[in-house]
Amino acid sequence: MDLLDLLDSRRSTPARQLGEPGPTPAQLERLLTAAIRVPDHGKLAPWRLLTIAGETRAALGEKLAQIHQRIEPDIAPALLMKDRERFTFAPLIIAVIARIDEHHPKIPAQEQLLSAGCIAYNLLLGALALGFGAQWLTGWAAYDADAAALLRLGANERIVAFVHIGTQREAAPERTRPILTDVVGELRL
């Protein structure tokens, strides 16, 4: 498969459809090594990664459910269960964390954030290249201050993605894609 075929075949596999096995340690190292090869104006490395695996997945879900219940005391039990289970399907979740220097004299914050976003996308492509399914998710926990504290994020850090990676239990669904003429134009001056 050439690179364009890989891009054409990329699909998000819903996290609930991902299971064991996940990447081996060697595959994970290869995936992470490739994923961090992103555009990075100024060579700032304005990102870091956290792997979430094993029993930590359920523990994280439980702690997030507790946070959610504090925030929203009348939350439906089904939503708390969703929080508890959110990280238990895929054997590996990689949190992509942007480390933004809002006052950098040369590199705009947006470029730093986009560099982190490129890592999340590289993780999706790399997982596919290794034969795994993956999904990029955020959810309320990516934007919550208590969840950020739980993940030990610094004041200048924010979650860009939780990339769930595992073996597909069923084929990833296709979705309607935009028609090129609806999204591509040509500048004429």
Q: Per-residue pLDDT tens, the chain, 189 aa: give them.
A: 688 999 999 999 999 999 999 999 999 999 999 999 999 999 999 999 999 999 999 999 999 999 999 999 999 999 999 999 999 999 999 999 999 999 999 999 999 999 999 999 999 999 999 999 999 999 999 999 999 999 999 999 999 999 999 999 998 888 999 999 999 999 999
Residues with Cβ within 8 Å of 148's Cβ and at least 6 positions away in sequence, in order, are: 157, 158, 159
Please give the Cα distance from 142 to 54 (Å, whole number). 20
First to last CA, the chain: 39
Residue 80: both structure tokens together: 């708390």
Q: What pLDDT was estimated at residue 115?
A: 98
CATH topology (fold) of 3-170 = NADH Oxidase (3.40.109)
pLDDT value, residue 2:
87
Q: Element (H or E) spanning 125, and its range?
A: helix 109-129
Please state, in angstroms and rounded to a whole number, the distance separating the CA atoms of residues 170 and 160. Answer: 27
What is the Cα–Cα distance from 142 to 150, expressed in whole angstroms? Answer: 11
173/166 Cα distance (integer angstroms): 16
Tell me which residue of 96, 97, 85 sits closest to 126, measured CA to CA. Answer: 96
> Which amino acid makes up residue 186?
E
- The 3-state DSSP class for residue 65 equals helix
141, 159 in Cβ contact below 8 A? yes
* Residue 173: how many other CB atoms lie within 10 Å: 10
